[in-house]
Structure 1
Amino acid sequence: MQVDFWQLSEDPVERVIPLIARRTRQAGEKLLVVSSMGEQLEKIDRSLWEMIPDAFLAHGYAHASHAARQPLLLSQECTAPNAAQFIAFADGQWREEALQFDRAFLLFGDEQLEHARDCWRMLGKRKELQRRFWKQENGKWREGP
């Protein structure tokens, strides 16, 4: 399993999720985006439609009908009716259910920095996990130490 830590410094989460979603779809995978905040999921929903006009990112909510057919789902829970193997935590909060997926993305800002650091250390003790760290510099995402 791989866990990617994305430190948000320039763009809000609703601008970053579409980038991750597009790469996920290009890899032939499905994605579950989780946030405990309904308003944040609504912003992400709009951004998936508007941010990348030339790339149609079909998506829906996990509680809606036909959720199993959607390649990208938005949810407040870690259950993936679409059998996604990738999960993104848009609210910056790690959940142990992520370990059931092949790849997890933890997106966090300055207010969740200590939680992310604790999570990085905790996951570092698990030999079966690969961790990667990404940070935005001058508008580009760079892998960090």
Structure 2
Amino acid sequence: MGAAYFYHLTQRPLVETLRMLLSKSLENGWTVAVRGAHSAQLEALDVALWGGAADSFLPHGMAGGPHDADQPVLLTTQMQATNQPRCVMAVGGAEVEATEVAALERVCILFDGDDEAALARAREQWKTLTAAGASAQYWSEESGRWEKKAEK
């Protein structure tokens, strides 16, 4: 049974945190779906992920291509990713269901701490998922490094 990890971004930009989490996921041998609510945000993340340092290459692709099922990391707006992910990373307030938290190794929900709407959406997701029995952890980088602040 997996868990939902909530990452409250206050120090680092989304793409930097996403790089770190994707690298760790790939090291674990997991396929990943990065789920966004809007394709424009995913397109920007796609460009940023390709533009990293040569030693930080993250193999990935945008959903809708002929090789989606083979992608170790697939950026998508769809609930069902064709790469059979073991981890989902939700950005931009993308939908997450308690059943997938239970079925996957991990679900990561990344949200901007400077955006009141994003904070409200993350709180709503926490309440919904934990009320449905999903295991959840809240991680904050207030101190400059990631620290677990709550667990349910």
TM-score range, shorter chain: 0.7 to 0.9
- What residue is the counterpart of 1:116 in the other structure? 122
Question: Quick check: 1:133 aligned with 2:134?
Answer: no
- What residue is the counterpart of 1:102 in the other structure? 105
Q: How far did residue 35 of structure 1 move?
A: 0.9
What is the correspondence of 1:1-145 to structure 2 with a 5 Å cutoff? Answer: 1-96=2-97, 98-99=100-101, 100-109=103-112, 110-111=115-116, 112-127=118-133, 129-145=134-150
Cα-to-partner distance string for 1:67-121 (whole Å, 9 max, x where unaligned): 1111000011122111112101111233327445332111112321122122212
Q: Mind listing any 5+ residue stretches in structure 2 that lack a counterpart?
A: none
Residues 132/84 of structure 1: CA separation in 2 closer, same or farther (3 Å cut): same
Contact 1:15–1:51, Cα closer than 8 Å, also in 2: no
- Identity rate, percent: 28
Cα-to-partner distance string for 1:32-56 (whole Å, 9 max, x where unaligned): 0011222211221122223343132
1-structure distance, mates of 2:100, 2:54: 30
2-structure distance, mates of 1:134, 1:50: 27
SS of equivalent to 1:139:
coil
Q: Mind listing any 5+ residue stretches in structure 1 that lack a counterpart?
A: none
Superposed CA RMSD:
1.9
Equivalenced residue count is 144
1-structure distance, mates of 2:42, 2:74: 10
SS of equivalent to 2:34:
strand
So what's the TM-score if we normalise by structure 2?
0.83
So what's the TM-score if we normalise by structure 1?
0.87
